[in-house]
């Protein structure tokens, strides 16, 4: 079976080989068949049919006309509820459309549903959702695997062929790691490339929207669609968005790739080291200069991330208090009781853990030792990359320290779970673009991912390198 592709489908739609209705009905059928994977928090066939009807009435030519897209349930959408996978927003219906999803709608895409995620995007296995685990579509019978997280639902939706692309958000690896686990392409662009307006916030200085797709070409088409300046987001960047797809070029001859020695970590499975080496060899064959680089503060990235992200989260999630919208506890004898019970009952364990950590690190007397220190280290990590990029055009590393692990394996060990982000977090802290593409399999035939990191706003180079590796792997 040839893999479906957005690019080919667009062509088929244009040449009328297939109608929007036919195309989407195929996807609707598959979504219903794979309901057991618990990929969607919200799915309504009627809603999708209505969208198709509206599109068919509209004759204008749009870039993504009729393309089925799955949306991570962290993006606020007018036509579907938005929960952030939390009980506290269980019945929340936004009156507004996020910047990213509005852009996709403007281009004529069809939203097949809202995908599952870790509650408020906090997790690496899509197992902290109030709406239950998502199961990795690549699982063998009776051996359910985690799809990674937090955007596990979106990665799984692409992997299970329930859409031609999906939106995700990545704070410390939440697009790249699940892409690796599910064997799809996932790109987190430069911080500021896509507006955060309308995305329920986890950690504002790190959150960034991105794309899942079947291949690099599709990702380049979709990223162009969701990128752009938005005056409603003060951290949104005023940069020209190139036509990534038109500019794709897999000829890397004369380029230099950086290989950071700090990413060779004790305990990394052989298979992971192997695909990394394979990727380097492929690049070398293509005339790419291999440059060993050092990112000396890498080992501090995880602790830094797990101070900054919870600190921001503890404040960002304060708005969920039962006063204005969302869940409110029944036990509200006093204002304090309303807060305590609403938040105790409305948030899950992992979210509460991170709110506690974040509150602690911002407390008087601890602020300097934790938060302020972490900000300083963050700067050093960013400086490491800036220095490294003076010597290379892009950096190649593994995406995650393992293939998809069994569901529930690390559920009771948060530290082990946090280690999943070891390769993805540094680029998040530095705000750099990163893509994960499938590159090789482990001994159980599960996909493994290679991560390509680029300079700020150099998504084109990231795509080009990814395309080159993808073509050599296929």
Instruction: Tell me which residue of 101, 164, 416, 336 sits closest to 344, measured CA to CA.
Output: 336
345 binds another protein (CB under 8 A): no
Q: Please tell me the distance from the alpha carbon of residue 167 to that of residue 180, in angstroms, as a whole number.
A: 15
- Report CA Rg, the chain: 21
Number of amino acids touching another protein (CB under 8 A): 43
CB of 170 to another protein, least distance (A): 16
Is the four-CA dihedral 398, 216, 406, 114 of positive or negative sign?
Answer: positive
Residue from 33, 143, 331, 335 binding another protein (CB under 8 A): 335
- 468 assigned to active site: no
Centroid of chain to Cα 290: 28
What is the DSSP pairing of strand 394-398 with strand 256-260? parallel
| Piece in contact with another protein (CB under 8 A), picked from 74-82, 181-189, 423-431, 441-449 | 74-82
Would you give the end-to-end CA distance of the chain in angstroms? 14
CB of 115 to another protein, least distance (A): 16
CB of 238 to another protein, least distance (A): 12
362 binds another protein (CB under 8 A): yes
Residue from 44, 45, 47, 92 binding another protein (CB under 8 A): 92
> CA–CA distance from 456 to each of 14, 202, 207, 470 (Å)?
35, 22, 15, 22
- 72 assigned to active site: yes
Based on CB atoms, which residue is closest to another protein, 169 or 220? 169
94 binds another protein (CB under 8 A): yes
- 273 assigned to active site: no
84 binds another protein (CB under 8 A): yes
CA dihedral 212, 215, 220, 225 (to 10 degrees): -50
Peptide bond into 150 cis (omega under 30): yes
Strand partners for 257: 290, 394
91 binds another protein (CB under 8 A): no
Site for another protein in 177-216 (CB under 8 A): 196-201, 203-205
Residue from 57, 324, 415, 443 binding another protein (CB under 8 A): 324
Determine the 3-state secondary structure of 448 from DSSP: strand
Q: Please tell me the distance from the alpha carbon of residue 381 to that of residue 391, in angstroms, as a whole number.
A: 16
Contacting residues toward another protein, per CB under 8 A: 75-76, 82, 84, 89, 92, 94-96, 98, 196-201, 203-205, 231-235, 311-312, 314-315, 317-319, 321, 323-325, 335, 339, 359, 362-364, 367, 371
**Residues labelled as active-site residues:** 72, 150, 174
């Amino acid at each position: 079976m040839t893999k479906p592709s957005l690019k080919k489908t667009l062509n088929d739609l244009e040449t009328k080989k297939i109608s929007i209705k036919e195309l989407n009905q195929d996807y609707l059928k598959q979504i219903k068949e794979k309901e057991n994977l618990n990929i969607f928090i919200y799915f309504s066939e009627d809603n999708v049919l209505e969208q198709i009807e509206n599109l068919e009435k509209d004759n204008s030519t749009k870039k993504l006309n009729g393309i089925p897209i799955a949306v991570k349930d962290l993006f606020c959408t007018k036509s579907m509820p938005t929960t952030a996978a939390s009980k506290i927003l269980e019945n929340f219906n936004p009156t507004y459309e996020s910047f990213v999803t509005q852009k996709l709608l403007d281009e004529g895409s069809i939203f097949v549903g809202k995908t599952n995620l870790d509650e408020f995007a906090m997790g690496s296995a899509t197992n902290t959702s109030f709406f239950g685990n998502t199961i990795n579509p690549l699982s063998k019978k009776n051996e359910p695997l985690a799809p990674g997280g937090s955007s596990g639902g979106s990665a799984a939706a692409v992997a299970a062929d329930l859409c031609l692309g999906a939106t995700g958000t990545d704070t410390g690896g939440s697009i790249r790691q699940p892409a690796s686990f599910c064997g799809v392409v996932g790109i987190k662009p430069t911080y500021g490339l896509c507006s955060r307006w309308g995305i329920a916030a986890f950690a504002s200085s790190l959150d960034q929207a991105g794309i899942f797709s079947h291949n690099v070409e599709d990702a380049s088409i979709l990223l162009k669609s969701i990128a752009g300046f938005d005056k409603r987001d003060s951290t949104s960047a005023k940069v020209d968005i190139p036509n990534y797809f038109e500019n794709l070029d897999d000829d890397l001859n004369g380029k230099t790739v950086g290989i950071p020695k700090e990413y060779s970590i004790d305990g990394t499975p052989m298979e992971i080291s192997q695909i990394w080496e394979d990727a380097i060899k492929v690049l070398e064959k293509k005339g790419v200069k291999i440059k060993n680089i050092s990112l000396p503060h890498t080992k501090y990235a995880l602790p830094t991330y797990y101070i900054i992200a919870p600190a921001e989260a503890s404040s960002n999630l304060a708005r969920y208090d039962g006063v204005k919208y969302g869940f409110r506890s029944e036990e509200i004898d006093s204002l304090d009781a309303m807060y305590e019970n609403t938040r105790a009952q409305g948030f899950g364990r992992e979210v509460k853990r991170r709110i506690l950590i974040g509150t602690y690190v911002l407390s008087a007397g601890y602020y300097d030792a934790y938060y302020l220190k972490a900000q300083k280290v963050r700067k050093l990590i960013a400086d490491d990359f800036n220095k490294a990029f003076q010597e290379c055009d892009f950096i190649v590393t593994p995406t995650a320290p393992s293939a998809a692990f069994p569901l529930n394996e690390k559920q009771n060990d948060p530290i082990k779970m946090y280690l999943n982000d070891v390769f993805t977090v540094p680029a998040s802290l530095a705000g750099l673009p990163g893509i994960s593409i499938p590159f090789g399999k482990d001994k159980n035939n599960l996909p493994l991912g290679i991560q390509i990191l680029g300079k700020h706003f150099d998504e084109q180079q990231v795509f080009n390198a990814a395309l080159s590796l993808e073509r050599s792997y296929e």
